[in-house]
Amino acid sequence: MARRDRRQEIMQAAEQLFTARRFHEITTDEVAQAAGVGKGTIYRYFQDKEDLFFQTAMAGFDELCDLVRQKVPGCAPFRAQLVEACEQMGAFFARRRQWFRMMQAEDFRMAMARGALCGRWMEHRKRLVAAVADVIRKGVAEKAVRTDLAPEVLASFLLGMLRTRARDLEDEPEVVRRYAVVVDLFLRGSSAPAHGAAVGAGDGLGRRLRAPAPDGRRATAARHGRSAGR
Residue-level pLDDT, tens digit, the chain, 230 residues:
345 689 999 998 988 888 778 778 889 999 999 999 999 999 999 998 888 888 888 888 888 899 999 888 888 899 999 999 999 999 998 888 888 887 877 777 666 766 676 777 788 788 899 999 999 999 999 999 999 999 999 999 999 999 999 989 989 999 999 999 999 999 999 877 655 554 444 454 444 444 444 444 444 444 444 444 44
Identify the helix (H) or strand (E) that includes residue 57.
Answer: helix 49-71
Report how far residue 184's alpha carbon sits from residue 181's, in angstroms, rounded to the nearest whole number: 5
Is position 66 within any domain? yes
Is position 37 within any domain? no
Cα–Cα distances in angstroms (integers) from residue 48 to residues 7, 29, 54, 181, in the given order = 13, 12, 10, 43
CA 123 to chain centre: 18
Total tally of structural domains belonging to the chain = 1
- Dihedral sign from CA coordinates of 157, 175, 102, 123: negative
* Cβ contact 73:140 at 8 Å: no
Nearest C-alpha neighbor of 88 from the set 131, 140, 55 = 131
Residue 64 lies in domain = 49-189
Is position 24 within any domain? no
Is position 203 within any domain? no
Inter-helix orientation angle 97-111/116-141, to 10°: 110
Is position 99 within any domain? yes
- Looking up residue 163, the CATH number of its domain turns out to be 1.10.357.10
3-state secondary structure of 26: coil
Please name the amino acid found at residue 139: G
Report how far residue 72's alpha carbon sits from residue 148's, in angstroms, rounded to the nearest whole number: 25
Nearest C-alpha neighbor of 131 from the set 157, 145, 151, 102 = 151
Is position 201 within any domain? no
* Cβ contact 133:154 at 8 Å: yes
Is position 118 within any domain? yes
Say which DSSP state 189 is in. Answer: -
Is position 43 within any domain? no
